[in-house]
Structure 1
Amino acid sequence: MYYYLFILAIALERLVELIVSRRNAEWSLAQGGREFGRGHYPVMTSMHALLLVCCVAEVWALHRPFIPWLGWPMLLVVVASTITRWWCATVLGKHWNPRVIVIPGAPLVRRGPYKWMHHPNYTAVVAEVAALPLMHSAWITAIVFTAANALVLNTRIRIENKALGYA
């Protein structure tokens, strides 16, 4: 029961992200921003929504148990990854967006987690996609969505690196 409520809380958090990202996208485009790789965005958002559905479905349909030695550490990973993702969003401010929108002449952010790596948000997403289903031993969902996420992120990072001039 608590797991289902936790997934619901994650879904609500994602809705807040979509509201913030829509506002930020409008602002970025109004500043002359140019969007890159628009085609992968619906795939990415659909995959993340389906992840939440599959977490619930696998636990419910296959009666996956909560295994404390696995579930509690995975909860910590999810919480840490969520904190990291919001840290990234806070540091990027109005420039944060799950769409790849680049404002010409805007400097690259090199503070916060961006001091250490180009894509800290994606590192957090990788951890979260694996850990969220494993909180309640939904290992099929963890494997399938980790693989799907790897494919989406491969495309996404290539597009973003090119747009930002890393590649």
Structure 2
Amino acid sequence: MKARTLAPWLTGAIAVQRLLELRVARANERWARDRGAQEYGQGHYPLFFVLHPAWMLALLLEGRAATGRVNLWALLLFVLAQPLRMWVIRSLGRYWNTRILIIPGGKRLTHGPFRYLKHPNYAVVALELATAPLAVGAGRTALAFSVLNAALLMLIRIPAEERALAAYRNQS
């Protein structure tokens, strides 16, 4: 199969998945706020709402311009990342959302994928940001957005989460 043929389908599937997940995230956010959750890191939140749609657009455009065949290994890795993504979301349950919300009385998870990684969701997203574009011959998109995502995570998001958790532990 030609990469340019798969690119619109893959981008569309990712967009639908993300929109459905946003509905879950919003419901979970309301649930958390109803329980007195305090939000941290609001200032950087819009950066992710620019990054992800821009990534999908670049994936579509560069993928549609690709002349090669689908990279089956990259596609397989992307597909295998999806159960990992669901494992993270299911493990977090009502606590999963797209914001940094700390609920009084809540505890840091140590089961599921959190047994192995402190931030498994970010590892899955990093894998997706690289493999989906590589599957459709969009190497520049894979590189550029992997670097941008890593910078946002390592320099801003993860430190903000760690500060929020530390502040919560100090209050308890």
TM over 0.5: yes
Per the TM alignment, residue 98 of structure 1 is displaced from its structure 2 partner at its CA by 1.4
Which residue of 2 is the match for residue 9 of structure 1?
13
The number of residue pairs the alignment matches comes to 163
- Contact 1:66–1:135 at 8 Å: present in 2 too? no
Per the TM alignment, residue 138 of structure 1 is displaced from its structure 2 partner at its CA by 0.6
Q: Which runs of at least 4 in structure 1 moved beyond 6 Å after TM superposition? A: none
- Give per-residue Cα distances to partners, 1:77-136, cap 9 Å, x unaligned: 111222212211111100001100010221111111011111011111111111111111
Which residue of 2 is the match for residue 159 of structure 1?
160
Which residue of 2 is the match for residue 44 of structure 1?
48
Per the TM alignment, residue 7 of structure 1 is displaced from its structure 2 partner at its CA by 1.2
- Structure 2: gaps spanning 5 or more residues: none
Which residue of 1 is the match for residue 66 of structure 2?
64
Secondary structure of 1:35's counterpart equals: strand
TM-score by length of 1: 0.92
Which residue of 2 is the match for residue 134 of structure 1?
134
TM-score by length of 2: 0.89
Which residue of 2 is the match for residue 81 of structure 1?
81
Higher mean displacement: 23-32 or 157-166: 157-166
- Structure 1: gaps spanning 5 or more residues: none
Q: Which amino acid aligns with 2:16?
A: L
Per the TM alignment, residue 59 of structure 1 is displaced from its structure 2 partner at its CA by 2.2
Secondary structure of 2:142's counterpart equals: helix
Across the aligned residues of Structure 1 and Structure 2, the Cα RMSD in angstroms comes to 1.6
How far apart are the structure 1 equivalents of 2:41 and 2:34?
19
Per the TM alignment, residue 67 of structure 1 is displaced from its structure 2 partner at its CA by 3.4
Q: Which amino acid aligns with 1:95?
A: Y
Identical residues among aligned pairs (%) = 34
